Structure 1
Amino acid sequence: MISNAEWEVLRVVWAKGQASSKDIIGVLAQKMDWSESTIKTLIGRLVEKKILQSRREGRSFIYWTEISEEEANLANLRTELAKICQTKQAGLLGQILAETPMTAQDLQGLQKILDRKQVLDQLPCNCTPGQCRCQEHVNSPEKEEVVI
């Protein structure tokens, strides 16, 4: 799992393709008001997690990642969506889309995706009983209380 702070480091590396610790510190010390040692600790964690690779060039290290920004963003979004009942996901995605600035080209791309999307008659809840308020769980045997 990548923390929000580590994500900031990755964004610098993705933007530059390869970045020295000096490059990363230059961006994040200003943006986040973090100390050099904090940023180096974050870089070290990403190297330990094998998310960042490094090589020595002279007296400094160069960092890069084999994970694309798009791949990481998709994995992150999928992880977050998996925490939400699938009966609620489309509504939430709709709200996010409504709030997201888009170009005409972006909208055309989304329309093509929607046009190809297979429609289901009913979307079943994928939650564990007790973790959701879907109608199918409200009356399930697991939810019924036994009065003694």
Structure 2
Amino acid sequence: MATTEVTATISDAEWRVMRVVWTLKQADSRTIISLLEKQHDWKAPTIKTLIGRLVKKGALGTTKQGRQYIYTPQINEQAAMDAALLTELEQMCAMHRGTALVHVVDQLDLSRGDVETLIAHLEQKLPTAPASVPCDCLPDDCEGSCDA
């Protein structure tokens, strides 16, 4: 599976289509439409438009099987999620990213294993973490006192 740099341009609705295809590994349009119509009360033409956009962006590949097209993901799910999250975090002030992550973790349902993995990664990162992270909002103008 190729990893394509399209995650920054995938809309919220397109993410829902990708989640279906990632879960099923491959799917025809009827299956995608059936599932998304039930989940989101969307109409078939809307879903077909979303599928077409994802093909055009390189996120979905197509193969013809008889009269149907089979859609397969062309981007790795975990890599896409990682890139999307990092893109969002990079838009925030560096001083406040940690606080934003804490708030996100507080609101997510995480398994015990996920929590243990996070703790282990944070414990590994702690010895080399700087005492503070400088603001990166305005070059040469911010003295580390940005307001949240």
- Between the two proteins, what is the percent identity of the paired residues? 39
1:76-101 per-residue CA deviation (whole Å, 9 max, x = no partner) reads 10111011001000011011112222
2:58 corresponds to 1:36: no
Report the secondary structure of 2:123's partner residue.
Answer: helix
Match of 1:121 in 2: 131
Q: Which amino acid aligns with 1:40?
A: K
Give the whole-Å Cα distance in 2 for the aligned partners of 1:28 and 1:52: 16
Structure 1: 5+ residue stretches without partners: 139-148
Deviating beyond 6 angstroms after TM superposition, the runs of 4 or more aligned structure 1 residues are none
Higher relative contact order (CA 8 A, sep 6+): 2
Which of 107, 111, 119 aligns to 1:111? It is 119
Give the whole-Å Cα distance in 2 for the aligned partners of 1:103 and 1:48: 36
Q: How does 1:1-148 map to 2 (within 5 A)?
A: 1-117=9-125, 118-128=128-138, 135-136=143-144
Task: Tell me if the contact between 2:58 and 2:74 (Cα under 8 Å) persists in the aligned partners.
Answer: no
Give the whole-Å Cα distance in 2 for the aligned partners of 1:101 and 1:38: 30
TM-score by length of 2: 0.84
Give the whole-Å Cα distance in 1 for the aligned partners of 2:50 and 2:115: 37
TM-score by length of 1: 0.84
Give the whole-Å Cα distance in 2 for the aligned partners of 1:41 and 1:24: 12
Higher mean Cα deviation, 95-104 or 30-39?
Answer: 95-104
Structure 2: 5+ residue stretches without partners: 1-8
Equivalenced residues, count: 135
Give the whole-Å Cα distance in 1 for the aligned partners of 2:112 and 2:17: 31
Give the whole-Å Cα distance in 2 for the aligned partners of 1:97 and 1:112: 15
